[in-house]
Structures are given as C-alpha cells and as structure tokens.
C-alpha cells in the first residue's frame, strides 16, 4: 500500500491547511492509514523553511502551505524547486486575485482570521449575556457584567445593552421602581462600571403614553402620569447616589449617542 506524507506549513496555527488536507485525504479509502500529516505552525523566518524543505526531501513529503507574507511564499516555492519537492500554495493565488480585483495591498499579518473569529464569538457571548441579564431578571449578572445600566422604565436600557453587546461588552440592566428594593449586588460592584440613565419627566410621560396606546390601553394609566414618573425619578436619584455611579441624561439622546458616551468613558478608564 502506497504511503503519503503531507507537511502542513503555516505562519499561524495551520488549521486552514490542515482542514483542507484532511478533506482531500478523506476522499480516498483508508486515508488515515495511507496519509500522514505533520504540521509546522508559526513559521516566520526563512531558516525554518530551509529546514522544512530538507525534512520533506528526506521523507518524500508534499508541502501544503498557508503563508500570508508573499516573500515567505516565494522563498518556500524556491526551496521546493531546488529540492525537487511538490508543493501546494493554498492561500497565495486567492490573496493575489483579491489584491488584483481590489487594487489594494494585503496586510500580510499572520493570525488575522483567528482574531476575527475570536471577536465574533466574544460578540455572540456578550449578546447572550445581555439577553440573560436583561431587565433585572437575575441580579447575579450584575456582578459578572462589564457594564451595568440602571434606570426607570422606558429609558432605553435594553436596546442600549444590545448595542454595547455588539461591541463585545457584557451588559446587565436593572429597572428601578420605588416599590421594589434594588438588588444588593448593585451596591457591591465597582461604581465606575455602573451607569444611571435619567430622562426628563415630560419626555418620559410622552414615551409611556405612546407605549400604552401601542398596547391598546388608555394613556391615562398611573404608569404614565407625571406625578408617578417624578416619584420614580426621585427614587432613581437616591439609588444612584448610594451607588456613586455616573448618570447620563438620555432625554434627547439616541441609543447610539448614549452608547458613545459610555464607550468613551470606558476607553478613558483603560488608558
């Protein structure tokens, strides 16, 4: 039975070339018995390419490579020619074609696809977190969150949580109402990661009336009355004063604008 050795060469982890090679080998019977693979990861200088070519010649291996730097691709191709080796460039032709179509030079930075994947999964995790700990459902989320939002009803806590989650921040939000004691967790967190959202009584009155009408209810319910709203805002002010957190007036701000205030504040703290 013929034996085949494949050398997987990459300037990153090498998962892409490894998966492609396995997919190809799986098309043949007894692929695991007849095809062996050796992965060379994080290959970043030409001396490594010479060593790999030397080993490949001794083992009569085929070299399959994903190298983002054109100089490294050219060097490995030259090494293979000089040693009479078969090689397959998986990445180069695609990068060259995209470069030609876009008239734009590639970054040639190893590992960018993994970085994009990691950012994607962080975003998904943050979105799931925001859903799980929305509207004070589980106060334990307050202690786990990167950002905590507090405010009376209809101050855009939920859409703001989702917006920030898309920026990979884990956000919990807690509604404040006079009849319910705020969770103790609010007073145990670092106040700098908590933001109170306040709004003018008149604006909130208008928003709540519209909400009631949308639900098919009368707009004169206690929920939308100015006196009730002022009482809620007084309660809110007492709670945020006790927490010691920053308060943002969202009266005339879109969700994106409020998010930018928070993101800017977070960036300054990280400096």
> Got the DSSP string for 148-208?
EEEESTTSSHHHHHHHHHTTT--EEEEE--TTSPPPGGGGTS-GGGEEEEE--HHHHHHHH
Q: Round the average pLDDT of the chain to a whole number and report it.
A: 92
Read off the pLDDT of residues 186-235 as tens digits, 9 standing for 90 and up.
999 999 999 999 999 999 999 999 989 988 988 888 999 999 999 999 99
Domain 4-110 identical in fold to domain 113-270: yes
Phi and psi torsions of 146, nearest 5°: -80, -35
Q: Which residues pair with 66 in a beta bridge?
A: 10
Read off the pLDDT of residues 110-138 as tens digits, 9 standing for 90 and up.
878 777 667 888 899 999 999 999 999 99
Instruction: Give dist(CA 207, CA 154) in Å, integer.
Output: 7
Domain spanning 4-110: which superfamily? Response regulator (3.40.50.2300)
Contact 76, 57 (CB under 8 A): no
The architecture that CATH gives domain 113-270 is 3-Layer(aba) Sandwich (3.40)
Q: Report domain extents, the chain.
A: 4-110, 113-270
pLDDT value at position 26? 84
Contact 113, 86 (CB under 8 A): no
- The model's confidence at residue 271, banded by pLDDT at 50, 70 and 90, is very low
């Amino acid at each position: 039975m013929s034996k085949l050795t494949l050398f997987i060469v990459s300037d990153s982890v090498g998962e892409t070339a490894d998966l492609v090679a396995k997919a190809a080998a799986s098309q043949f019977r007894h692929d695991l018995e007849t095809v062996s693979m050796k992965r060379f990861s994080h290959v970043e200088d030409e001396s490594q390419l010479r060593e790999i070519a030397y080993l490949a010649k001794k083992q009569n291996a085929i070299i399959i490579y994903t190298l983002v730097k054109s100089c490294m691709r050219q060097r490995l191709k030259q090494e293979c020619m000089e040693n009479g080796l078969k090689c397959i460039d998986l990445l180069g032709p695609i990068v060259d074609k995209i470069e030609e179509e876009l008239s734009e030079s590639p970054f040639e930075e190893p590992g960018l696809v993994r970085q994009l994947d990691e950012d994607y999964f962080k975003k998904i995790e943050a979105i799931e977190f925001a859903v799980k700990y929305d509207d004070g459902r589980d106060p334990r989320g307050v202690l786990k969150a990167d950002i905590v939002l507090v405010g009376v009803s209809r101050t855009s806590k939920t859409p703001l949580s989702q917006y920030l989650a898309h920026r990979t921040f884990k956000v919990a939000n807690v509604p404040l109402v006079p009849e319910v004691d705020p969770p103790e967790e609010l007073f145990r967190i670092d106040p700098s990661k908590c933001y109170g959202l306040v709004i003018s009584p008149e604006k909130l009155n208008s928003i709540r009336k519209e909400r009631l009408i949308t639900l098919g209810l009368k707009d004169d319910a206690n929920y939308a009355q100015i006196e009730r709203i002022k009482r809620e805002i007084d309660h809110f002010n007492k709670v945020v004063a006790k927490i010691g957190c920053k308060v943002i007036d969202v009266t005339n701000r879109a969700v994106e604008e409020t998010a930018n205030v928070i993101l800017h504040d977070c960036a300054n703290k990280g400096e």
